[in-house]
A and B are shown apart, each in its own frame.
Chain A
Amino acid sequence: MKCDGLMNPEVSKTSERVHQRIPSGCAISGMMSEEGRRIDGRVIIKSIACMHDRSNGLGGGFAAYGIYPKRKHQYAFHMMYDNVEAKEATEEIFKDIFNVDMDEPIPTHRENGISNPPLLWRYFLEAPENKLEFISERDYVMKMVMRINSEVEGAFVASSGKNMGAFKGVGYPEDIGKFYKLEDYSAYIWTAHGRFPTNTPGWWGGAHPFTLLDWSVVHNGEISSYGINKRYLEMYGYRLELRTDTEVIAYLFDLLVRRHKLPIDKAVMSLASPFWKDIDRMEPEQKKIATAIRQVYGSSLLNGPFSIILGHSRGMIGLNDRIKLRPMTAARKDDMLYMASEESAIREIAPDLDEVWSPRAGTAVIGTLKEEVE
């Protein structure tokens, strides 16, 4: 298994972690400016730090959208490497499959209790025209992400989208945020995660957010339907080798929205579908849609307790499981949309809110960037 060395070597030895799935407790927070105003990372750190007790220091992370405006047409790969060999092997592949426009270490701050980080490097990549004859650009990039994650020993793609990035690792989220110097990044969407893994030690690759292309997911909960969600995705060429249930959420959004072209609200309906008793009472047209979605997408239904915040290039989506077994509060202030495990985490950064509500079970909060935002 690859990535073994990415876990905290102080906690356990490489050989002891073989394909472990990692259920977790956790805190999540997200914020977004519909106007596309860019806000620096200190704000989201403050919000997630407020829920310190919901995590246990074994994982924290952030996703940020709009951080690389000058290179927004290139795929920004955030990489984690166990060692130099993994880096060299990956770069050898990159040379072969992408045009590498620029690469550099991801800037970090080493003085705040974060121990044993992997090698962190980022690349700005373009997919060469001649590789895209029989495959769409995004399918190509997705395949390459899967390939590196499963084939290169000790290399892990932390994020692979355009104009976005994931910053994650083992530690409390506020420490991870400082470690990555998030004060130096400005984003119009921020999501954050503090992790409380329950039965395995944390490892750097296993921290949230989980990402694929522009999709990023922070997740509090456990996907009890993981087994079938995984097999369903495998039918479409996804390789789920990280064995974390959160991974399936990112990939399901990729499959349903990007590849099957479902509108966001319909994709969300397939992941946390209404109960049949409610579908049966819908207006005929709505009923027909909801019934068809459940019939066709039964294997993508996410079951079990979860609250998630999904980030993508055009917005942010909050979603609870069908009976709301994990907390989630949402709020608005002017053009800002907030979501968090606890209201306190929102009030901490926006004490004066226009509107605060608890989204209903299975009902998504969908935030969309204004069309004129680039």
Chain B
Amino acid sequence: MESQLPAEFMVNVDHERCRRCKRCVINCSFSAIEFKDKVTPNHRLCVACHRCATFCPEGAITITENPLEYKYGYNWTPEIRKNILKQAESGGIILTGMGNPRPYPIYWDHMLIDACQVTNPSIDPLREPMELRTYLGAKPECVEFDSEHISLETELAPQVKLDIPVVFAAMSYGAISLNAHKALAMAAKRMGTLMNTGEGGLHEELASYTDRIIVQVASGRFGVTSKYLNNSALVEIKIGQGAKPGIGGHLPGEKVGEDISKTRMIPVGTDALSPAPHHDIYSIEDLSQLIYAIKETTDYKKPVSVKIAAVHNVAAIASGIVRAGADIVMIDGFRGGTGAAPMVIRDHVGIPIELALAAVDERLRQEGIRNRASILVGGSIRQSADVVKAIALGADACVIGTASLIAMGCRVCQKCYTGNCAWGIATQKPELVRRLNPEIAADRLCNLLTAWGHEIQEVLGSLGINAIESLRGSRERLRGVGLPQEALDILGIKHAGIGQ
């Protein structure tokens, strides 16, 4: 069927400046640029990944949105009309990548942070210690000493140390390249934080980083062995993902080459299908069994995390997870990223992480069990300010997926599911993968975390506190702007203008 879809972008080449080096042609992994006497774009194929524009030595390429106007309709937006055209031509579910791009309220941007003036001094992080160290894991209600009051009798559950309360999100080898995985692992080790294998198993080349790696157990159980579970900082059971709550995963067979086949323990060329639910977890007591099966396998030396998508009843679910024995609850908000998801799910299912986090933290406190698990949150943590606000709402640490990919070069073109990532990140094609230098990408990740760390320290100093634990859950230091009362109540914050 002939497509009626217009091009989304226009590739504009300034032929006076172009010296016909063809670097753009070589770099475009979406075949949107050809060379026929001169550089000739095929606008329809352009995804605005910026690879050509970034590498053009003459700066001769610009990419613009297709100016083709649609007759105005508030209801029938151009996007909706284009989606209908796509489905009328294909009969399929619309696939997409990355996080929800729709203009839902971003609560982070409606919260403001306090600062000290006069009655309590702010602290200069360049002159005074400013502590970000965080430990993930279950904490007892209290510590006990022997009768002499000298030696500690309480044995704490395993704790994982973070030098900065930001960890890299779960992204599987398969969804992203081995070079991207290596970069994340190197950066995690250098910065004293963690990376997460996602559900694709652990490549043997990452063996030396295992004390900084979260290994995931998802519904497909790819690569899960006793060795895999024990070679880790902690183990995460993935129940759901913010971008696609209630949906499984599908890595197409063409991506399953020799290496991925070995890592995932499936035959070369077969589709890697993750079922929507874990077929051994149909309720909370089953989850508890799996948690304890993993704890037995790891001799109770690894914290076990359970990752869920933020859905309507998230607070009660999180409470059940803590009571089922999880040491960490990871909540992924509806704006969280993905390598591939049906657009209908990504854009319309789940709830914002800000509200989910506030509800979960409050619920666990009401039940008196907040100490029994750490809370990790993700789902579009974009900047250090989001981290500060999340911790003030009650998170122990944040996870960043998309932000870490952007640091490595990702332009958020949302075409991860095509396997054509021009930046060597979300692809398995060797000629593309080698575009990502793991050393340089690791440097960029470290720089990002270093910068965020300094920024978080500046905010703590301005708040007059010198340890991150004095921010954690301290909602008194946040104020809402332009939020309705229900949102303020759920977030547990006052409106700006109200003093103490």
Question: Which residues of A line the B interface, CB within 8 A?
Answer: 20-21, 23-25, 198-199, 221-222, 224-228, 230-232, 234-236, 243, 256, 260-263, 265-266, 273, 275-277, 285, 288-289, 292-299, 301, 303-305, 322-323, 325
Contact = CB atoms under 8 A, between A and B. Distances in A.
Interface in B113-147: 116, 118-121, 123, 128-129, 131, 133, 135, 137, 139-145
5 contacts: A222-B464, A228-B470, A261-B144, A263-B149, A295-B137
Contacts of A231: 365, 473-475
B473 to A, nearest CB: 5
B145 A228 contact: no
B387 interface: no
A235 B143 CA distance: 17
B128 A299 contact: no
Which of B116, B140, B143 counts the most A-chain CB atoms under 10 A from its CB?
A: B143
B140 A234 contact: no
Contacts of B159: 295
Contacts of B129: 275, 277, 323
B119 A293 contact: no
The 6 closest A-B pairs by CB, nearest first: A227-B476, A298-B469, A227-B474, A303-B470, A21-B500, A225-B470
Nearest to A273: B467
B225 interface: no
Contact of B142 (A234, A262, A288): A262
A25 B463 CA distance: 18
Contacts of B434: none
B154 interface: yes
Contacts of B139: 295-296
Contacts of A277: 129
B143 A323 contact: no
Contacts of B370: 235
B473 A296 contact: no
Contacts of B133: 276
Contacts of B474: 225-228, 231
Given A303-B465, A323-B123, A262 B145 contact: yes
B145 A263 contact: yes
A199 B471 CA distance: 23
A301 B500 contact: no
A227 B361 CA distance: 14
A305 B119 CA distance: 9
Contact of A228 (B123, B368, B473): B473
B152 A292 contact: yes
B131 A275 contact: yes
Interface string B284-312: 00000000000000000000000000000
A243 B498 CA distance: 14
A273 B143 CA distance: 15
Contacts of A265: 149
A295 B470 contact: no
Contact of A25 (B119, B143, B368): B119
Contacts of B500: 20-21, 23, 243
Contact of B116 (A20, A224, A297): A224
B472 interface: yes
A226 B116 CA distance: 13
B380 interface: no
A292 B473 contact: no
B75 interface: no
Contacts of A230: 476
A293 to B, nearest CB: 6
A296 B464 contact: no
Contact of B119 (A23, A263, A303, A322): A23
A366 to B, nearest CB: 12
B499 interface: yes
A176 B141 CA distance: 41
A185 B499 CA distance: 40
Contacts of A21: 499-500
A224 B464 contact: yes
B371 interface: yes
B151 to A, nearest CB: 7
A273 B466 CA distance: 11
A74 B122 CA distance: 45
B82 interface: no
A116 to B, nearest CB: 25
B153 to A, nearest CB: 10
A262 B365 contact: no
Nearest to B361: A231
A295 B466 contact: no
Contacts of A323: 123, 128-129, 466
A143 to B, nearest CB: 16
Nearest to A280: B133
Given A292-B154, A296-B371, A304 B120 contact: yes
A309 to B, nearest CB: 19
Contacts of B156: 292, 295-296
A222 B131 contact: no
B119 A227 contact: no
B22 interface: no
A325 B461 CA distance: 13
Interface string B453-466: 00000000001111
B359 to A, nearest CB: 14
A297 B465 CA distance: 16
Contacts of B128: 323
A25 to B, nearest CB: 7
Contacts of A325: 120-121
B477 interface: yes
Q: Which of B151, B466, B499 has the most CB of A within 10 A?
A: B466
Contact of B120 (A222, A228, A235, A294): A222
A235 B466 contact: no
A114 to B, nearest CB: 26
